[in-house]
């Protein structure tokens, strides 16, 4: 498939450029009979929307959700559920000078190489705006997972080298970086504001924890649960790596340390991050992703134009100085999609 579809039995297909008329998503395989309205989706969209604080872009994307099909009298019908978001606050003129220049860190050059044509307005299809459609689909998956007793929670653990030292789940949605440690959050905010003032940006790390997922999810050998979560996460533009459980620290561990031994209460440790042999163990599924610094910065940078001539570029616009806070709901949405899909695949296997 040509890349805009994700999932097998719970499946989404997205469309839309950042500065086109609209973006949207078709969700197939939704269990019929689920109570669902636009507010259920809107609440997740609002978590992702820009302009929430000093650490996110002041750009306005009022993502008012419209359900176009698949819901009848307040319940899902089992047929494709489509959600549309109109694009507003578009300022295509702001992109005039990038029409013929490749912005460093952006997909401008690689898209031109791939397609030979490029919608240069706001990164077109490569824009972070595309993730809004994912959040809409994830909101539906989340509702189905709630009925199964599964919860999915992501949070920032590191920004610009500043790490969370404590884990306070209640604090996450109460600070604008969505960090799990309010003290670290304060430092992160200060640092982000400083970098924004300098026209620069920074990266970070987000952790995701899936609780309550049944043991037995995931399909050996290629569609392992962690493999599909990895694909889901790396499909988010700004994410450049993922690790499960102890992750890269496992490189310096011994087998006798890393193996999760069991007693009559289950696993004593969870170094594997809840997935062994590609299949969930029933323990919390835990992974971390690295978020690269926002590509759009206003410091001057070297680049070339579409004819190969050297140029200097300064990206003027309204950009997030750090992607972490707004990528948190996207990560959760993708995780919800993967888990719900695997519940359905497991049902097909056993039935």
Residues constituting the chain: 351
The contact pattern for a second copy, residues 303-332, with x = CB under 8 A and - = no contact, is: xx---xxx----------------------
Contact status: 96 vs a second copy (CB under 8 A): no
The contact pattern for a second copy, residues 236-275, with x = CB under 8 A and - = no contact, is: -x--xxxxxxxxx-xxxxxxxxxxxxxxx---x---xx-x
* Rounded-to-integer distance, Cα 222 and Cα 277, Å: 11
Which stretch in 44-52, 63-71, 170-178, 180-188 sits in contact with a second copy by CB under 8 A? Answer: 63-71
Among 44, 13, 15, CA closest to 326: 44
* Residue 18 labelled as part of a binding site: no
* Residue 148 labelled as part of a binding site: no
Buried b (16+ CB within 10 A) or exposed e, 58-69: ebebebebebee
* Residue 4 labelled as part of a binding site: no
* Rounded-to-integer distance, Cα 179 and Cα 64, Å: 27
* Rounded-to-integer distance, Cα 238 and Cα 192, Å: 17
Q: Name which of 172 and 225 has its Cβ closer to a second copy.
A: 225
* Residue 295 labelled as part of a binding site: yes
Among 346, 336, 16, 348, CA closest to 147: 336
Q: Name which of 197 and 254 has its Cβ closer to a second copy.
A: 254
* Residue 82 labelled as part of a binding site: no
Among 238, 27, 57, CA closest to 141: 27
Q: Given the structure tokens 């898209």, which residue do they identify?
A: 111
Q: Name which of 152 and 242 has its Cβ closer to a second copy.
A: 242
Which stretch in 47-55, 164-172, 295-303, 325-333 sits in contact with a second copy by CB under 8 A? Answer: 295-303
Q: Name which of 104 and 176 has its Cβ closer to a second copy.
A: 104
Give the relative orientation of helices 225-234 and 324-350 as an angle to the nearest 10 degrees: 150
Taking CB under 8 A as the criterion, the residue among 14, 44, 56, 175 binding a second copy is 14
The contact pattern for a second copy, residues 75-94, with x = CB under 8 A and - = no contact, is: xxxxxxxx-x----------
* Rounded-to-integer distance, Cα 86 and Cα 18, Å: 10
- Could you tell me the two tokens for 21? 């008329």
Binding residues for FMN: 125-127, 277, 292-296, 318
């Amino acid at each position: 498939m040509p890349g805009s579809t994700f999932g097998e039995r719970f499946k989404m297909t997205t469309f839309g450029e950042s500065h086109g008329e609209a973006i949207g998503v078709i969700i197939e395989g939704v269990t019929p009979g689920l109570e669902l309205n636009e507010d259920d989706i809107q609440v997740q969209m609002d978590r992702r929307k820009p302009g929430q604080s000093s650490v996110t872009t002041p750009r306005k994307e009022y993502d008012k959700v419209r359900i176009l099909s698949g819901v009848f009298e307040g319940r899902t019908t089992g047929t494709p559920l489509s959600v549309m978001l109109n694009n507003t606050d578009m300022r295509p003129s702001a992109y005039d000078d990038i029409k013929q220049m490749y912005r460093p860190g952006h997909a401008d050059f690689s898209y031109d190489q791939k397609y030979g044509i490029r919608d240069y307005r706001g990164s077109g299809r490569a824009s972070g705006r595309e993730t809004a459609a994912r959040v809409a689909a994830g909101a539906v998956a989340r509702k189905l997972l709630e009925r199964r007793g599964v919860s999915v929670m992501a949070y920032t653990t590191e920004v610009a080298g500043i790490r969370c030292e404590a884990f306070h789940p209640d604090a996450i949605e109460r600070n604008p970086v969505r960090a799990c440690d309010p003290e670290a959050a304060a430092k992160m905010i200060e640092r982000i504001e400083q970098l924004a003032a300098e026209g620069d940006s920074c990266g970070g790390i987000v952790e995701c924890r899936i609780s309550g997922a049944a043991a037995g999810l995931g399909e050996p050998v290629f569609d392992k649960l962690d493999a599909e979560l990895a694909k889901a996460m790396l499909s988010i533009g700004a994410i450049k790596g993922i690790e499960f459980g102890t992750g890269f620290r496992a490189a310096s561990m011994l087998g006798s340390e890393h193996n999760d031994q069991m007693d009559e209460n289950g696993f004593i440790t969870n170094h594997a991050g809840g997935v062994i042999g590609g299949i969930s163990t029933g323990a919390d599924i835990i992974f971390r992703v690295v978020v690269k610094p926002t590509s759009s910065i206003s410091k001057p940078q070297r680049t070339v134009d579409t004819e190969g001539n050297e140029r200097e570029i300064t990206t003027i616009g309204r950009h997030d100085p750090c992607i972490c806070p707004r990528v948190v709901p996207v990560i959760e949405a993708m995780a919800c999609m993967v888990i719900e899909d695997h519940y359905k695949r497991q049902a097909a296997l056993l039935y």
